A and B are shown apart, each in its own frame.
Chain A
C-alpha cells in the first residue's frame, strides 16, 4: 500500500471508529452485548405508586430490567442487593439509572407491597406489576419465561423465572445482558459506560 493510500485508509478507519464510538458499538463491554438483537424497552404496566407507566416513561434513564417476585427469599433479594451495591459504586452518576423490578407474581405483588419491597433495596428501584397478560407480553418481548410451581399444602407457591438482567440505554435500546452471577466489577464497568453513552 502506498503511503498516501495508507494515510487515507487510516483516516477512514479513524472516522469509522469515531462513528462507532458515538453509538457505543465498539465500547469494551464486559457483559453480553445484545445491541440490535432485542426490542426497545416497551411495556404498559403499573408502577409501585399505582400509576400506569410505559417504557417511554423511562427514556433518558439507563434501565436495568429484572423479573422476579417478592415472595422469593433468596435469589431475587440477592440480585437486587447486588444491583444496589453496583449503583452505589458507580456513584452520583447512577442517579440516572433505574432498576425496574417486574413482578412475575401479580396475584400477590400489589403496588403497595412492591413499593415497600423495592425501596428496601434502593431508592432508584421501581416495582412494576400488571395483569397476567401485560406481564406475559413483556416477558415474551424479551424471550423471558416464568412458571408458577405447584402450590404447597398451605397455599404457598414458588415462581421459577428467567434470572437475567437486561440493560437498556437512555434511548430505550436493549444493549446488554447480565446473568445474576455477573461480577459486580463488570456491572459497574458497563453501567458506567452506558451512563456515559448517548447522553
Chain B
C-alpha cells in the first residue's frame, strides 16, 4: 500500500477513533461560572451555565475542587411557600441544549474551604460527567450580595 492511498484511510480511522472516544465533557462549554462567598467559611453556592454542543445528552453527576472539602449538586425550591434544598445525583444537559446552575435552582454547595476564599479570586472546580469525563472550570468568587 502506498502512502498516498493509505493516508486517507489512516485519517478516516483516526477520525472514527476520535468520534468513538469523544467524551461528554468534550462537548460541553461552561460559562458564567461563579461562587457566592459567605463569611466565616459558611457553605457557598456555585453557579455555571452549561452548553452542550454535541449530538448526545451530557449528564453532569457531580463536581470536586481542591479548594473545598466537599462539593455537592443541590436543587432549591420555594414551592408552596417553603424554601427547601435537596441533594440531586445528576443534571441532564440536552444535546444542542443548555442547563443552568443558577440562584434559586440547581447549584453546587461548596463546603469546608481549605483556606478562606476571597471575592475576586478564581477557584477551579472540576465538573464530572456520567461517562467519567471531567471539565475543569474556573469559578469567579463574588461577594455575598452579588446578583
From 109 to 140 in chain A, residues with beta carbon under 8 angstroms from any chain B beta carbon are 113, 116-117, 119-122
A74/B74 in contact, CB under 8 A: yes
Q: B145 in the interface, Cβ–Cβ < 8 Å?
A: yes
- Extra 9 A-B pairs, beta carbons < 8 Å, given A74-B103, A180-B83: A70-B42, A74-B109, A77-B36, A77-B45, A84-B145, A117-B40, A117-B42, A145-B82, A163-B78
User: How close is B101's CB to chain A, nearest CB, in angstroms?
Assistant: 10
B145/A121 in contact, CB under 8 A: yes
A72/B83 in contact, CB under 8 A: yes
8 pairs of residues in contact across A and B, judged by CB atoms under 8 Å: A71-B43, A73-B38, A81-B146, A117-B39, A117-B40, A117-B42, A120-B145, A162-B81
User: What range describes how many residues of B lie at the interface?
Assistant: 20 to 34
A160/B82 in contact, CB under 8 A: yes
Q: What residues make up the interface of A, taking CB atoms closer than 8 Å to B?
A: 68, 70-78, 80-82, 84-85, 113, 116-117, 119-122, 145, 154, 156, 158, 160-164, 179-181
Contact of B40 among A75, A85, A116, A154 (CB under 8 A): A116
Which chain A residues border B74 with CB–CB below 8 Å?
A: 73-74
Question: Cα distance A95–B81 when bound, in Å?
Answer: 28
Q: B147 in the interface, Cβ–Cβ < 8 Å?
A: yes
